[in-house]
Amino acid sequence: MAFKHKHLLGIQTLGPSDITTVLDTAESFCNISTREIKKVPILRGKIIINLFFEPSTRTLSSFELAAKRLSADIISLNKQSSSVIKGESLKDTIKNLEAMNPDSLIIRHSAAGVPYFATTFCQSHIINAGDGAHEHPTQALLDALTIRQKKKSFKNLKVLIVGDILHSRVARSNIFLLKKMGARVVLVGPPSLLPAEFKKFGVEIDYDFDRAIKKADVIMMLRIQLERQKKNYFPSIREYRNLYGLTEKRFRRAKKNAIIMHPGPINRGVEISADMADSAKSVILKQVENGIATRMAVLYLLLGGKEREAIN
């Protein structure tokens, strides 16, 4: 098992074997969450800071629980409780936190490139928890874990990613990961949210959801931000739902054993109908559950090196 990275900034910099290592490690952590005592002492004495400049429910709590299950000490800061609000520069804020000698900083920020920026002046392990429209690597990894559990292999799977591709870091990280693992990726959405240049990522593009969904194995729906309508990315919610919403009628065109995914938070009745979100084909909550094991794996692989060597 080799995972020779100091930081996790994105999927782009990982190779297929790195991804497999994370998924295998995550798999081995999955059962800890179901034990009576949900804690192992692997990262005892490690200090982790969650630094979230954007709102988050899932990712923030998932990283916190993952750290706690590995016995690390973790604190979480959000934009409101940080001095950025008082006009401190981002670099100064991060450098001040670094001065407290954490082992890792987990950063979410609305600007692409912030985790990379942090690595240029930080010593600790930087983990990207979502940077602008760039990457969200742990989301793609937990999605991959979920897909692998259901489909066994990525080879030649037809995976649809549907919705606001342009603004989605989840879409990008998933595209990179799925391509590296040999899946066939089809992007679906209106041209305003899915520019044709995305073809250069090695994916297929289809503006017709009904056509694209035929024989799909995995359908990954993306949240549509309602405020996008104000900038005319789409004419109305109604129009968007009619063209790109996942409904039972549409889903029938996919493979019988197709699964429905969504990184959350979902807009019920907009990009996905309520019955689809709650259906037996939906693995949306399984994704959330897998998030903890995946993040445990990432923390362990980045921070647990010394203990690992000692054990070996």
Partner 1 sequence: MKLLIKNGRVIDPSSRTDESLDLLLDKGRIVDIKTKIKTDGAKVIDASRLVIAPGFIDMHVHLRDPGQEDKETIATGSLAAAKGGFTSIACMPNTHPVNDNRGVTEYILSEANKKAVVNIFPVASITKGQKGKELTDMADLIDAGAIAFSDDGHPVENSDTMRRALEYAKILNTLIIDHCEDKNLSGQGVMNEGYYSYLYGLRGIPGSSEEIMVARDVILAEKAEARIHIAHLSVKGAVDIVKEAKKKRIKVTAEVTPHHLFLNDSCIETYNTNLKMNPPLRSKEDTQALIKGIQEGVVDVLATDHAPHTPDEKDVEFDQAPFGINGLETAVSLFLDRLVDKKIISLKRFIEMISTSPALILELENKGKICIGADADLTLLDLHKEIIIDVDTFKSKSRNNPFQGWKLKGMPVITIVGGKIAYSSSSIKSK
Q: Which residues bind partner 1 (CB under 8 A)?
A: 89-91, 109-114, 116-117, 131-135, 166, 169, 172, 195, 197-198, 200-201, 231
Q: How far is the CB of 134 from partner 1 (least distance, A)?
A: 3
Q: Quick one: 129 or 254, whose CB is closer to partner 1?
A: 129
Cβ distance to partner 1 smaller for residue 133 or 301 = 133
Closer to partner 1 at the Cβ: 198 or 209? Answer: 198
Determine how β-strand 104-109 pairs with β-strand 158-162.
unpaired
Beta bridge partners of 188: 162, 206
* Least CB distance to partner 1 at residue 91 (A): 6
CB of 90 to partner 1, least distance (A): 6
Cβ within 8 Å of residue 114, ≥6 positions away? 53, 90, 107, 131, 132
Tell me the closest approach of the beta carbon of residue 60 to partner 1, in angstroms: 20
- The least CB distance from residue 248 to partner 1, in Å, is 32
Closest separation in Å from C-beta 114 to partner 1:
5
Contact between 162 and 219 (Cβ < 8 Å): yes
Tokens representing 134? 């760039």
From CA 123, how far away is CA 108, in angstroms rounded?
18
Nearer to partner 1, 128 or 273 (CB): 128
Report in angstroms how near the CB of residue 176 gets to partner 1 at its nearest. 10
For residues 118 and 126, give the distance between their C-alpha atoms in angstroms, rounded to a whole number.
7
Q: Which is nearer to partner 1, 194 or 276 (CB)?
A: 194
Round to whole Å and give the CA distance between 106 and 65. 13
Report the chain's terminal Cα–Cα distance, integer Å: 11
Strands 47-52 and 73-78, bridge-based pairing: parallel
When the beta carbons of 135 and 143 are compared against partner 1, the nearer one is: 135
Of 15 and 195, nearer to partner 1 (C-beta) is: 195
Judge whether 67 and 76 are in contact, CB under 8 Å.
no
**In which residue are the tokens 């739902």 written?**
241
SS3 content of the chain, % helix, strand, coil (to 5): 45, 15, 40
